Amino acid sequence: MTSHVAIVTGGSRGIGAAISERLRDDGVTVIANYGGNDERAKAFTAETGIDAMKWDVADYDACQAGVKAVEEKHGPVTILVNNAGITRDGTLLKMDREMWEDVINVNLGGCFNMSKAVFPGMKARSFGRIVSIGSINGQGGQYGQVNYAAAKSGIHGFTKALAQEGARFGVTVNALAPGYIDTDMVAAVPEPVLEKIVAKIPVGRLGQAREIANGVAFLCGEDAGFITGSTLSINGGQHMY
C-alpha cells in the first residue's frame, strides 16, 4: 500500500481519525480532510503526522480544488474514504428545510462531490478504491432522523450504481455501515438511552472506531479487488438482513 494516496473526509476525529491512522499504518499517504475545527486538526497532525487539509465537502468547487491541491502535493489519489457526516436530529414535524438540506448536502452530497473529483483519474489509471461510510440507521431507519437515514440510505444506492460504472476500469466502490460506535457523538447520548441501545446489540457492547477502520482498510486493500457494490455491516449483530 506504500504507493497509494488516500483522502479521508472528516478524517481528523472519531471514526475518521481511526481510519486515517489505520491506513497510515498500512503505508498509505493519508490526507485527513476536515471542515471546521482548526485546533483539533492541528492537534491531530501533531499527534499522528497525518496532513490535515480543510474544505467543505458539501461545496462542489471546494472539493475539486481540494483534490487538485492534494494531488499537486502528494500525487494521484488512489483511495477515497467518504466519511464526513453531520446530524441535525428532529422529528419530521420539528425538522425545517435547513436541517434537511444540511444533512443531505454533507452526508450524501459530499460523496458525490468527492467521488466526482477523484473518479476520472482513477478510471484513467485503471485503479481506485472508493469506500463510503453509511450507517445502520440508513439500513433500518431511526426515529427523529429522517434526514440522516435518508442520506445514509442514499449512500448505499450511490455505491451500487457507481460500482457498476467503475468495475471494468479497476475502480471498486463499496460502503461500510457501522452500528453504534464508542465515539464523541454516541457519548453525547443520555445514559438511559444509551443503555437501551446497548441492550439491543447482541454482542452486548458498543463498537470501537478501530473496528470500523479495519473494515475500511480491508476494502481499500489489494485483497478486496473482487468486492464491489457491497455494503459491509459492522454492528455487533444489531441489524441483520
143 has catalytic annotation: no
Instruction: Tell me, letter by letter, the H, E, C secondary structure of the chain.
Output: CCCCEEEECCCCCHHHHHHHHHHHHCCCEEEEEECCCHHHHHHHHHHHCCEEEECCCCCHHHHHHHHHHHHHHHCCCCEEEECCCCCCCECCCCCCHHHHHHHHHHHHHHHHHHHHHHHHHHHHHCCEEEEEECCHHHHHCCCCEHHHHHHHHHHHHHHHHHHHHHHHHCEEEEEEEECCECCHHHHCCCHHHHHHHHHCCCCCCCECHHHHHHHHHHHHCHHHCCCCCCEEEECCCCCCC
Which residue out of 34, 60, 143, 148 is catalytically annotated? 148
Strands 5-8 and 171-178, sheet pairing: unpaired
Just list the catalytic residues: 148
